[in-house]
Structure 1
Amino acid sequence: MSALRVANCSGFYGDRLSAAREMVEGGPIDVLTGDWLAELTMLILAGNRLKGRPGYAPTFLRQLEDVLGPCLDRGIRIVTNAGGLDPAGCAEAVHELAARLGLSPKVAHVTGDDLMGRPLDLVNADTGERAPAAPLTANAYLGGRPVAAALSAGADVVVTGRVTDAALVTGPGIWRYGWGPGDLDALAGSVVAGHVIECGCQATGGNYAFFQDVPDLAHCGFPIAELRADGSSVITKHPGTGGLVSVGTVTAQLVYELGGPRYQGPDVVARFDTITLSDDGPDRVLISGVRGEPPPDTLKVAVNFPAGYRNTMTLVLTGLDVEAKARAAEEAIWARVPRESFDQVDVTLTDAGLLRITVMDADRRKAGRAFSSAVVETGLSSYPGFYGLTPPGDASPYGVYWPVLVPASEVRPRVFLDGEELPPVVQGEPVPGPIPAPIPGPALPEPPGGPVVRAPLGRVAGARSGDKGGNANLGVWAATAERYAWLAATLTTDRLKSLLPDLAPHRIDRHELPNIRALNFVVHGLLGRGVAASPRMDPQAKALGEELRAQVVDVPAALLPQGAAGEEPGA
C-alpha cells in the first residue's frame, strides 16, 4: 500500500492564506490538513463569540473556497480543527460555501470536547492551584479516532473542535491503515509525524536556528508527511518550493513545545526517546523506530477563564545614565498612580533602552486611561529625551489558560455526517500505573578535550523554544555525536541558569534525547499564568532559544567549524 500523503496548510490562526491552494496545486496529496487552534486561540474565539462573531476560524473558509472543488475532483480529503468552539457552525458554513460554489461535499463534524456545564475539578495540572474564577471555555483534547470514523463514513471534509494537534495526522492514518488500539508503535509514529508538520513551515526551515542555510525562505513551502502502514514517515515538501527539509529542521520541530520524552495523548504515548531520523534524499527525512505505550486514563482539558484587564506603556531611554532615567520615569508615574493600587505590575528595562510598564487589575478603569494618561502626563516633567512608543489607550481584557485533567472515560466524542450522528467512537484502552523507565539511547563518544575557544553557544548548537501554558520549553540540539556529547555534559540546569539569569528563580526540568542529539528544558512558571496573562515582551518564549545561542561559552576548538569564527554549517 502506498504511503498516505498528508499535507499541512496552516500552523496557526492567521497563517498564509494561499497555502491551501499551494499544497493542492503543488503536487499529489491525499489529505489536506492544518492546525488553527492554540490555547490562546480558544480564548480569542471565546471573545469573538461573546461579540456575536463566529466561534470558529473563518480564515479556514477563505482557504477552502480556493480548493474545495479541486479536492473533490481529486479525492483529497480535508481535515481541520478550525471548528474551534463551534464545529457544527463551521460545518454548516462549509455547506453554505459549497452550495454557493455549486458543490455537494459530505461534511462531518466532531463534538464532545466541550465540557462546559459539567462539574470539573479545576486543579491546575501543572501547578496544583485551583482556578480562581468560573471557566469561559473548557475543551478536552480528543484523539484521532473520531476523525477516522468520519473519513471511514465517507466524509470529504472533517471539521473538529479541540483535538490534539497530532490527531489531524493520526486520524487519517487510522482511517487508511485500520490501526486498532493495540497498534501502539504505528500510532506513536503518526503522532510524531503530526507533531512535526502541525506548525507548518517550522518543519521546512521557518524560524530555524541556521536560517542562513535555508534557500528562498521568503517562499517557504509547507510540509508533507508521507505516512506508512508501520507508522514511519517521510517529511518532505513540494518540489520547486522554498525552504529546507533536513535532519536539522525536523529535529528543531521535534523539540518544539515538548515536555519529557513520553509524549502523552488520547490515542497513545509516543516515546520521543526512540525516534530515529535519517536522510532520505533531498528535502526528505525519514522518521522511524518510534515506540508507543498505552494512553493514560486521563485527558487534558484546556480551560480558559477571564482574569481582568491589562495595559502597557513603553518609553524609550537614550543617551547617558539609562538606569537612572528609568528610576526617574517610574517615580514620576507612580506619584500619579500608586504602584500598589494595581493587582499586578511588571516593569522591564531592556538592553535596547525600552522601559516597558504593564499593569493588571480587575478594575478596567484603573488599568485603562487612568494609568496610560498618567504616563503621558509625565512627558514634560520626567527624564531628558523622553518619548514613548504607545499613545494613551484603554485597558484590554485578558484571560488565563488553565490545564486540568478529567477521566478519559467521561469524555465521549460524537461524530456527525451531514447532520446525522454516526455510531459511537471506540477509543483506545487507557492504562493507569507507574511511568516506564526511559529507553537507553545510543552510546556517546567522550567529550573532546584539547584547547577551548570563547564562542557563542549557537556556533555548535541549534535551539528552538516555545510555550506550554505558563511554562516555557527550550530545546537544544547538536548536529554531530561529538557536539552532543559535549553539550550534554556542559549544559546542565545550573549552567543554563547562569547563562540566562532570568531563569534562575524558576524550577527547570532537563530531559535528554540522545537518539536525536537533543536536550529539552521545561522552565516552570516563566510565563506566569500563560501567554495571554504574561507581561513579558516575549510572552510565548519564542526568543528564548536564540538568547541562549548568543551566550559566549568555552567551546572545544575541535568542535567549531573551520576558522572558529565562521558560520555554522546546517545541521
Structure 2
Amino acid sequence: MTQDRDHDVPVRIGNCSGFYGDRLSAMREMLTGGELDVLTGDYLAELTMLILGRDRMKHPDRGYARTFLRQLEDCLGLAVDRGVRIVANAGGLNPAGLADAVRALADKLGIAVTVAHVEGDDLLPRCEQLGLGTPLTANAYLGAWGIVDCLESGADVVVTGRVTDASVIVGPAAAHFGWQRTDYDRIAGAVAAGHVIECGTQATGGNYSFFTRDFPDLTALTHPGFPIAEIHADGSSVITKHPGTGGAVTVGTVTAQLLYEIGGARYANPDATLRVDSLELSGDGVDRVRIAGGRGEPPPPTLKVSLNSLGGFRNEMTFVLTGLDIDAKAELVRHQLESSLAVRPAELEWSLARTDHPDADTEQTASALLRCVVRDADAATVGRQFSSAAVELALASYPGFTSTAPPGDGQVYGVFTAGYVAAEEVPHVAVHADGTRVDIPPPSTTSELRPVTEAELPEPGSFGPTRRVPLGVIAGARSGDKGGSANVGVWVGTQGQWTWLAHTLTVDKLRELLPETAELPVSRHVLPNLRALNFVIDGILGKGVAYQARFDPQAKGLGEWLRSRHVDIPEELL
C-alpha cells in the first residue's frame, strides 16, 4: 500500500465518518465507489471524549471507537487490495490499544498490514501540574505531523487520539507532497479541505438549509454519498464525491460546511492558522467545487485542551398541557412540584414550549410541553425523590394531567471546558509499527491569535419596496456547538443579497431575532468572499453539550430558527 509521490497529480482523500455512530457501511461504500488514495474518518467530538472516558472507567483497555474495528473487519482486505491507506482518529483515549486491536484483527483475517499510531494528547496524568484541575478526560488537540511521520515510515493504517478534525486530512496531503512545516498557505488550504469533508455528508447535502430548493426530488437525499477532497500540491482542492452516489456537492453545500463551528476570520489549527476570509469557491463541474486562494499564518503558541468532567446528576420531567389556560396550568404544577420537594436541587429550571394551537383539530396540536430539569451533586436528590414527587401530582393538579415518561433515576451529566497549554508542554509522538517512537517537535514559529480588522463592507445598496418574509427565503445558515458557546454562519448567493445582509444582520438585529441571545455576548465576523457572516454566541450552551442547557444542546437548529424569523427584504432580492 505504498505510493509514489507525484506533485502534478492531486491526492484523493475520502472521508467515511463524521462522528462516532455515523453510517457503518460508509467505509465499504467509499472503497468500492471509485478511486481513492487515502480514506479518513473523524470519530471524535467533545461529547464523544466524555463517552469514551466513562467507557475507560469501566474497561481500562478500551477508550477507543469500537465501530472502527467493525468497519475494518469488513473492509481491511478491500483497502489493501485497492492500495488505499487509512487514517482515523478513532483511537480516542487509547490509540495504542486500538493499534494493537487492528493488528490482532489483521492477523485473524490473514492480512499483512503495517499499523502505526500517534499519541501524546492525553494530559490527564499531568493535569495538576499544568493547572487543568481534576477532569475525567484531558486531551490536547494535536496537529498533523505525527501522522505524516507514520505515513512516511510506511504505515498502511494510522490511528490517532485527539488530533484536530482536519489533521487526518492535512497529514496525508503533507506526506504525499512532502510539504514543510512552514508551508503555511499549503497547509491552510488542506485545513480548509479537511474542515469541509471531516463532517461527512454535511458536505454533500446533509443538514443543508436549501435542501427543498436544490433537491426538488427529495429521494436524492435518501443516501448521500460521503465527500472526497482532491488536494493539489499548492494546497488548493476540489471537493467532490463518488459518481452515482446520493446528495450533491455545490458551492452552497461547501459554503455551509466552511461556516460550521468556526469563530472569526482566523481559524486556528496546530500547524497553521487558516484565513477563512481568503478562501474563494467556484464550480468545477457537476458535483465539483474548487477551493482556492487559501492563505495561512503560523499557528498559535498554545494548544487547545478538551476537558471533560462529571458535573453531577441530572433528571427531567415533561408535562403535557392541553387546551385552555396553558399558563395557569403551568403555574399550578410548577408551584405544586416545587412545594412538594423535601430537598430543593442545586439547579431547577422550567421551560414552557407553546406548541399548542387555538381551536386545534388534533389533541397533539392543542398541547404545550412544560419541561422541568434538575441537577445536583447528590443522585438521590434528583432521582426518584424528584420524579416520584412529580408523578404523585397526577390526580391533584391541572385538568388533563399527563407526562411524557414514568419516574426514573437521575443520570450522570458531563461538563466541558476548554483549556490551553503551551505547545512545547504537550508531547506529540509517532509510534511506528515496529515500536520505534519518534518525538514530533512543536512548531518553531508561532503567532498569537488576534482578531482581524473587519473586512470592508460593500457600499449600502438602494433597494425598492420590501416584503416581510422569513430570512431563510434568501439566506442559508449552519450552526453548531463550540463548548458552551455556539456559532451561526449565515450566507447568501448573490452580490445584491450580500450587500443587504451585511448592513442588515447586525449583532443588535440578531439579538432581536433570537431573543435567547439578548443578554449574552455576541460577536460578528464578516467573510465577504463567501458572502457570509459568522456569529459566535458565548454561553448559550451553558457548560457544554452534555450539560444539556437547551432542548437543542448542540445548537444544530439555531441557524434554522434564525432563518425562520420574518424580516423586511427588498422584493428585488427575493
Q: How far did 1:317 drift?
A: 1.2
Q: Does residue 1:406 correspond to 2:409, yes or no?
A: no
Amino acid of the structure 2 residue aligned with 1:150: C
Residue of 446, 454, 463 corresponding to 2:468:
454
In structure 2, what is the equivalent of residue 346 of structure 1? Answer: 349
In structure 2, what is the equivalent of residue 563 of structure 1? Answer: none
Name the CA distance, whole Å, in 2 between partners of 1:430 and 1:401.
Answer: 30
Give CA-to-partner distance per residue, 1:179-205, whole Å, 9 cap, x none: 112111000000000100010000000
Name the CA distance, whole Å, in 2 between partners of 1:381 and 1:447.
Answer: 61
Residues 459 and 121 of structure 1, relative CA distance in 2, 3 Å threshold = farther
Residues 121 and 386 of structure 1, relative CA distance in 2, 3 Å threshold = farther
Q: How far did 1:95 drift?
A: 1.0
Q: Does residue 1:272 correspond to 2:276, yes or no?
A: yes
Residues 186 and 120 of structure 1, relative CA distance in 2, 3 Å threshold = farther
Q: How far did 1:418 drift?
A: 2.2
In structure 2, what is the equivalent of residue 502 of structure 1? Answer: 516
- Tell me, yes or no, if the aligned pair for 1:121 and 1:404 is still in contact at 8 Å: no
Alignment of 1:452-531 (within 5 A): 452-531=466-545
Q: How far did 1:295 drift?
A: 0.6
- Tell me, yes or no, if the aligned pair for 2:63 and 2:93 is still in contact at 8 Å: yes
Name the CA distance, whole Å, in 1 between partners of 2:485 and 2:209.
Answer: 21
In structure 2, what is the equivalent of residue 548 of structure 1? Answer: 562
Residue of 55, 67, 81 corresponding to 1:59:
67
Q: Secondary structure of the equivalent of 2:477? A: strand
In structure 2, what is the equivalent of residue 128 of structure 1? Answer: none
Amino acid of the structure 1 residue aligned with 2:164: T
Residue of 340, 345, 348 corresponding to 1:336:
340
Give CA-to-partner distance per residue, 1:157-180, whole Å, 9 cap, x none: 000000000101100011001111
Q: Secondary structure of the equivalent of 1:420? A: coil
Name the CA distance, whole Å, in 1 between partners of 2:9 and 2:77.
Answer: 24
In structure 2, what is the equivalent of residue 379 of structure 1? Answer: 394
Q: Secondary structure of the equivalent of 1:155? A: coil
Give CA-to-partner distance per residue, 1:521-545, whole Å, 9 cap, x none: 0000000011111331100011101
In structure 2, what is the equivalent of residue 569 of structure 1? Answer: none
Residues 240 and 433 of structure 1, relative CA distance in 2, 3 Å threshold = closer
Q: Secondary structure of the equivalent of 1:423? A: strand
In structure 2, what is the equivalent of residue 435 of structure 1? Answer: 450
Name the CA distance, whole Å, in 2 between partners of 1:394 and 1:270.
Answer: 46
Residue of 7, 18, 28 corresponding to 1:21:
28
Residues 331 and 354 of structure 1, relative CA distance in 2, 3 Å threshold = same
- Tell me, yes or no, if the aligned pair for 1:446 and 1:482 is still in contact at 8 Å: no
Residue of 548, 554, 558 corresponding to 2:572:
558
- Tell me, yes or no, if the aligned pair for 2:34 and 2:242 is still in contact at 8 Å: yes
Q: Does residue 1:396 correspond to 2:400, yes or no?
A: no
In structure 2, what is the equivalent of residue 105 of structure 1? Answer: 113
- Tell me, yes or no, if the aligned pair for 1:444 and 1:481 is still in contact at 8 Å: no
In structure 1, what is the equivalent of residue 38 of structure 2? Answer: 31
In structure 2, what is the equivalent of residue 85 of structure 1? Answer: 93
Q: Secondary structure of the equivalent of 1:266? A: coil
Residues 425 and 122 of structure 1, relative CA distance in 2, 3 Å threshold = closer
Alignment coverage as a number of residue pairs:
550
Q: How far did 1:426 drift?
A: 3.7
- Identity fraction in percent: 56
In structure 1, what is the equivalent of residue 262 of structure 2? Answer: 258
Name the CA distance, whole Å, in 2 between partners of 1:475 and 1:423.
Answer: 40
Name the CA distance, whole Å, in 2 between partners of 1:323 and 1:466.
Answer: 32
Q: Secondary structure of the equivalent of 1:364? A: coil
Q: Does residue 1:157 correspond to 2:147, yes or no?
A: no
Amino acid of the structure 1 residue aligned with 2:185: D
Q: Does residue 1:168 correspond to 2:156, yes or no?
A: no
Amino acid of the structure 1 residue aligned with 2:529: N
Deviates more, 1:76-85 or 1:210-219: 210-219
- Tell me, yes or no, if the aligned pair for 1:346 and 1:535 is still in contact at 8 Å: no
Deviates more, 1:289-298 or 1:380-389: 380-389
- Tell me, yes or no, if the aligned pair for 1:120 and 1:406 is still in contact at 8 Å: no
In structure 2, what is the equivalent of residue 564 of structure 1? Answer: none
Residue of 301, 304, 307 corresponding to 1:300:
304
Q: How far did 1:120 drift?
A: 5.0
Q: How far did 1:358 drift?
A: 0.7
Amino acid of the structure 2 residue aligned with 1:512: V
Residues 84 and 467 of structure 1, relative CA distance in 2, 3 Å threshold = same
Name the CA distance, whole Å, in 2 between partners of 1:6 and 1:296.
Answer: 26
- Tell me, yes or no, if the aligned pair for 2:319 and 2:371 is still in contact at 8 Å: yes
Give CA-to-partner distance per residue, 1:499-549, whole Å, 9 cap, x none: 111110101011000110110000000000111113311000111011011
Q: TM-score, normalised by structure 2?
A: 0.93
Name the CA distance, whole Å, in 2 between partners of 1:237 and 1:348.
Answer: 43
- Tell me, yes or no, if the aligned pair for 1:273 and 1:438 is still in contact at 8 Å: no
Q: Secondary structure of the equivalent of 2:398? A: coil
In structure 1, what is the equivalent of residue 139 of structure 2? Answer: 139
In structure 2, what is the equivalent of residue 76 of structure 1? Answer: 84
Name the CA distance, whole Å, in 2 between partners of 1:146 and 1:259.
Answer: 26
Q: How far did 1:303 drift?
A: 1.0
Q: How far did 1:436 drift?
A: 7.1
Residues 506 and 440 of structure 1, relative CA distance in 2, 3 Å threshold = closer
Q: Secondary structure of the equivalent of 2:438? A: coil
Alignment of 1:117-128 (within 5 A): 117-120=125-128
Residues 256 and 174 of structure 1, relative CA distance in 2, 3 Å threshold = same
In structure 2, what is the equivalent of residue 193 of structure 1? Answer: 193
Structure 2: any 5+ residue segments left out of the alignment?
Answer: 1-7, 356-367
Q: How far did 1:119 drift?
A: 4.2
Q: How far did 1:419 drift?
A: 4.9
Q: Secondary structure of the equivalent of 2:73? A: helix
Name the CA distance, whole Å, in 2 between partners of 1:62 and 1:501.
Answer: 45
Q: Does residue 1:361 correspond to 2:376, yes or no?
A: yes
Name the CA distance, whole Å, in 1 between partners of 2:194 and 2:302.
Answer: 21
In structure 1, what is the equivalent of residue 17 of structure 2? Answer: 10
Q: How far did 1:437 drift?
A: 3.9
Give CA-to-partner distance per residue, 1:328-354, whole Å, 9 cap, x none: 11112112116x721112211112111
In structure 2, what is the equivalent of residue 220 of structure 1? Answer: 224
Name the CA distance, whole Å, in 2 between partners of 1:220 and 1:373.
Answer: 45
Q: How far did 1:261 drift?
A: 0.8
Q: Secondary structure of the equivalent of 2:349? A: strand
Name the CA distance, whole Å, in 2 between partners of 1:413 and 1:327.
Answer: 56
Q: Does residue 1:325 correspond to 2:329, yes or no?
A: yes
Q: Secondary structure of the equivalent of 1:117? A: helix
Q: How far did 1:423 drift?
A: 2.8
Residues 228 and 434 of structure 1, relative CA distance in 2, 3 Å threshold = closer
Q: Does residue 1:229 correspond to 2:233, yes or no?
A: yes
Deviates more, 1:529-538 or 1:412-421: 412-421
Give CA-to-partner distance per residue, 1:416-463, whole Å, 9 cap, x none: 12251233224432424573744856x736434110001000001001
- Tell me, yes or no, if the aligned pair for 2:266 and 2:452 is still in contact at 8 Å: no
